[in-house]
A and B are shown apart, each in its own frame.
Chain A
């Protein structure tokens, strides 16, 4: 019963958070100085009629509260509206951007999680050794590198070997034949540099947290007991230490996965990856309110949902919560 209460409370809190995010998303961007109509009406021989037509078209002539109610109503009907800048449905635009972003950011982030946890475990296991020093210092260095610097270095060093921009070779298949296998290979090659940049910039954090958590766990009495029982180091690490040390990592993993849909704007920018990060940056510059509302809604929902899942996982992983 206590467990059910916990779950219901968490779900209720998540829904409330999403509603607050929707409301903030609506008003936040409208507080920004700047005006989409001014931007779009700055064409040769612009007339007041054009400005008025755009204002009416975008519904910006109505009071804010009325715009807000229309936005809520449309959301309840599953519509995120039409982009001011491109005149296309926001849901379709965001779907296309997400389709591009998720594979790249997911590979980079999941790779960082795996590499980070792995190097963290190894560092803690061999604490004080040369490999620990190398691993820890590398993790700190990559963690400290600005993403854009690391990305540009990779672009310059590996350009010519690997594709440095876009998601695919646009010409193959249009100006010559291209097999499905060759297309997958081509997309895979284009993924390497952006995903690698992301992996390198993210993995350090996982390494350091995992190492610290491992060291704390290694000092626990039950580890000493396991050693006294004559269990091998490998078994102690795998069966007792890593599993307990993973608890603080769970939140970090959930948050990181939640941010996958937010894209990685700097990586997308450097490698001309047409993802949601770039799309939202463009939408901010253009004051494209429907696009911003839609994008940040998806981001908020994914972070909240992943947090909820992390909470629920904690409930399962840590029996102290249910007590």
Chain B
């Protein structure tokens, strides 16, 4: 059937085509290469923004580093840490010294030895420049004193205090080829960020220490990878893979349907799922770590609409939030109901005992009555002498599903006497408006945004600390008690004790409600039935920055 349909299109469109002489060629398949193992064509709407790891911010940049640079450890499919370039490790009794034993006789793709000395060199050089051009990596090196390599297969990392998440931090840190990067880690280090880190003009691939090497890269267009001939780990089944970047999800879905790509990840829109399944594609949905948040300004120095600092108001707003309706209407069922700042997909770090309040408009009304905010003549409650009317800052990331969510919330809040209006602005202006004036968080009322946190909960917990005001804080929340809990959890080496404290922190934050966590959207991916072996993950889906599993295992059916 598909052959007929495509042939029909050719016939109809030929008179329209400007280049009729070549149009028949386009009717040929543009699918995957047929070399040994094949070439997986991946489509994404989130391009590599830079190949330089000290500049890049996009997810796929980090996924690429996972595949071309060695990491000491990686995550397994159950989000546990497993060996990678480090085959084993141990820690001292005080938790301040970590010793990793690396793979012997490993080589970079250019044939030069890849040893523990490369690990120590990367760490020490980045530490030198962590308050400057290597600042993006500073979070990975917290409390670190330095690293040394007493022999080619041993690297010793020293910390000033016990750090609970050393392994998770090491998973995020790529080992860089010294022979490439050393010239840039000199002087003021200005070259660290300006170095493009792309395949050289002579057609040679980039120096790689991972399972693949980057052979061709065109910014905002594509990146192509081939197997690294000197890779020291299990041999990938595919010959190579390509990342092709799309400006919009509709074009990406169409490219999958037209067999121009084999796999589309992470940003597949929920509305495309039914059509893709009908067309015979394999669609997978996976609960993710990401979350959609309804933010209420909880900064104690807030100068306007201070009734929002009243916990009863925030609780009422949560009672008026119909999560089931949001998931059904906005997400077509492809999301999980929200509860705490650590998603259930994060395994045991998520506190399952949070008692999420149900959707109950009459209870919401009672709470507002209890707070003393009586209904005014025009259907809006009066708080501190003014109607309860607020604007909700709304960045572009939330468009689409967020619009539907907002409409549902707006309608329900109206019923309890609260009016909200959408205030659209771009990402940069959003943060500016939330943190105004001058990072004091005094004026904004509400916002909708999201978080896509890493596996280790430390980052997500840090977002609500006072230290992140002006940096990652998008709520203005600041509480010394919470800060103390945060500082303590980061030093607990015993994972059960750390988990217990992290559960307490989630409970604390749930009650404080700087965020009403609306939902955890599923990761939606689709691929051609001709391919199999994808390992799904709650971060970015199958092709991610957590492990090299998928592209080592994936193969043609």
Given A159-B257, A270-B251, verify A34-B242 contact (CB < 8 Å): no
Q: Is the CB of A161 within 8 A of B139?
A: no
Q: Is the CB of A161 within 8 A of B10?
A: yes
Q: Is the CB of B427 within 8 A of A166?
A: no
Q: Is the CB of A49 within 8 A of B135?
A: yes
Given A44-B462, A87-B55, verify A158-B9 contact (CB < 8 Å): yes
Shortest Cβ distance from B407 into chain A, in angstroms?
A: 23
Chain A residues within 8 Å of B142, by CB: 45
Q: Is the CB of B433 within 8 A of A49?
A: no
Chain A residues within 8 Å of B33, by CB: 171, 175-176
Q: Is the CB of B221 within 8 A of A33?
A: no
Q: Is the CB of A155 within 8 A of B250?
A: yes
Q: Is the CB of A87 within 8 A of B246?
A: no
Q: With an 8 A cutoff between CB atoms, is A302 at the interface?
A: no
Chain A residues within 8 Å of B426, by CB: 34, 284-285
Report how far A286 CA is from B429 CA in the complex, Å: 10
Residue of B nearest to A185 (CB): B22
Chain A residues within 8 Å of B242, by CB: 170-171
Interface stretch (choices B101-109, B346-354, B465-473, B499-507): B465-473
Instruction: Write out, one digit per residue, whether chain B residues 39-73 have a CB within 8 A of any chain A CB (1) or not (0).
Output: 10100000001101001010000000000000000
Q: Is the CB of B251 within 8 A of A271?
A: yes
Q: Is the CB of A171 within 8 A of B17?
A: no
Shortest Cβ distance from A180 into chain B, in angstroms?
A: 14
Q: Is the CB of B224 within 8 A of A174?
A: yes
- A: interface residue count bin: 35 or more
268-318 of chain A: CB within 8 A of chain B: 268-274, 278-279, 284-287
101-119 of chain A: CB within 8 A of chain B: 111
Given A155-B251, A161-B6, A166-B244, verify A46-B221 contact (CB < 8 Å): no
Q: Which of B9, B216, B429, B459 contacts A170 (CB 8 A)?
A: B216
Chain B residues within 8 Å of A192, by CB: 17-19
Residue of A nearest to B431 (CB): A38
Q: Is the CB of A165 within 8 A of B471?
A: no
Chain A residues within 8 Å of B260, by CB: 163-165
Residue of B nearest to A38 (CB): B431
Q: Is the CB of B221 within 8 A of A274?
A: yes
Interface stretch (choices B24-32, B508-516, B524-532): B24-32
Given A43-B139, A188-B22, A285-B427, verify A165-B251 contact (CB < 8 Å): yes
Q: With an 8 A cutoff between CB atoms, is B440 at the interface?
A: no
Given A166-B221, A272-B245, verify A152-B250 contact (CB < 8 Å): yes
Report how far A32 CA is from B433 CA in the complex, Å: 12
Chain B residues within 8 Å of A160, by CB: 6, 9, 257-259
Q: With an 8 A cutoff between CB atoms, is A96 at the interface?
A: yes
Q: With an 8 A cutoff between CB atoms, is A85 at the interface?
A: yes
Q: With an 8 A cutoff between CB atoms, is B113 at the interface?
A: no
Q: With an 8 A cutoff between CB atoms, is B229 at the interface?
A: no
Given A49-B135, A159-B257, A166-B221, verify A43-B57 contact (CB < 8 Å): yes
Chain A residues within 8 Å of B259, by CB: 160
Interface centre among A51, A169, A174 (most CB of B within 10 A): A174
Residue of A nearest to B196 (CB): A88
Q: Is the CB of A161 within 8 A of B26?
A: yes
Report how far A278 CA is from B49 CA in the complex, Å: 13
Shortest Cβ distance from B349 into chain A, in angstroms?
A: 16
Shortest Cβ distance from A320 into chain B, in angstroms?
A: 40
Q: Is the CB of A274 within 8 A of B219?
A: yes
Q: Is the CB of B245 within 8 A of A189?
A: no
Chain A residues within 8 Å of B119, by CB: none
Given A51-B470, A165-B260, A272-B247, verify A195-B136 contact (CB < 8 Å): no
Q: Is the CB of B57 within 8 A of A167?
A: no
Chain A residues within 8 Å of B470, by CB: 48, 51
Q: Which of B9, B16, B49, B138 contacts A85 (CB 8 A)?
A: B49
Shortest Cβ distance from A6 into chain B, in angstroms?
A: 41
Q: Is the CB of B427 within 8 A of A39?
A: yes
Q: Is the CB of B247 within 8 A of A278?
A: yes
Q: Which of B23, B25, B254, B454 contacts A44 (CB 8 A)?
A: B454
131-175 of chain A: CB within 8 A of chain B: 152, 155-167, 169-171, 174-175
Residue of A nearest to B439 (CB): A38
Given A33-B433, A163-B260, A170-B218, verify A39-B135 contact (CB < 8 Å): no
Chain A residues within 8 Å of B432, by CB: 33-35, 38
Chain B residues within 8 Å of A174, by CB: 215-216, 224
Q: With an 8 A cutoff between CB atoms, is A75 at the interface?
A: no
Chain B residues within 8 Å of A272, by CB: 245-248, 251
Chain A residues within 8 Å of B135, by CB: 41, 43, 47, 49-50, 53-54
Chain B residues within 8 Å of A268, by CB: 247
Q: With an 8 A cutoff between CB atoms, is A202 at the interface?
A: no
Instruction: Write out, one digit per residue, whether chain B residues 522-542 have a CB within 8 A of any chain A CB (1) or not (0).
Output: 000000000000000000000
Instruction: Write out, one digit per residue, whether chain A residues 187-198 have a CB within 8 A of any chain B CB (1) or not (0).
Output: 011001001100
Chain A residues within 8 Å of B250, by CB: 152, 155, 270
Residue of A nearest to B35 (CB): A175
Given A171-B39, A269-B247, verify A42-B220 contact (CB < 8 Å): no
Q: List 23 A-B contacts (CB under 8 A).
A: A36-B428, A40-B57, A43-B57, A43-B135, A44-B139, A46-B471, A54-B135, A85-B50, A86-B49, A86-B55, A87-B52, A87-B194, A158-B9, A161-B13, A161-B17, A165-B251, A165-B252, A171-B224, A175-B224, A175-B239, A185-B25, A269-B247, A270-B248
Known pairs A35-B432, A162-B23, A272-B247 / 19 extra A-B pairs, C-beta < 8 Å: A32-B428, A34-B426, A44-B459, A46-B472, A51-B471, A57-B133, A159-B254, A161-B27, A164-B251, A164-B258, A165-B252, A170-B244, A175-B33, A188-B19, A189-B23, A189-B26, A269-B248, A271-B251, A284-B426
Which B residues form the contact surface with A (CB < 8 A)? 6, 9-10, 13, 16-19, 22-23, 25-27, 30, 33, 35, 39, 41, 49-50, 52, 55, 57, 131-133, 135-136, 138-139, 142, 193-194, 196, 215-216, 218-222, 224, 226, 239-240, 242, 244-248, 250-252, 254-255, 257-260, 396, 425-429, 431-433, 435, 454, 459, 462, 468, 470-472
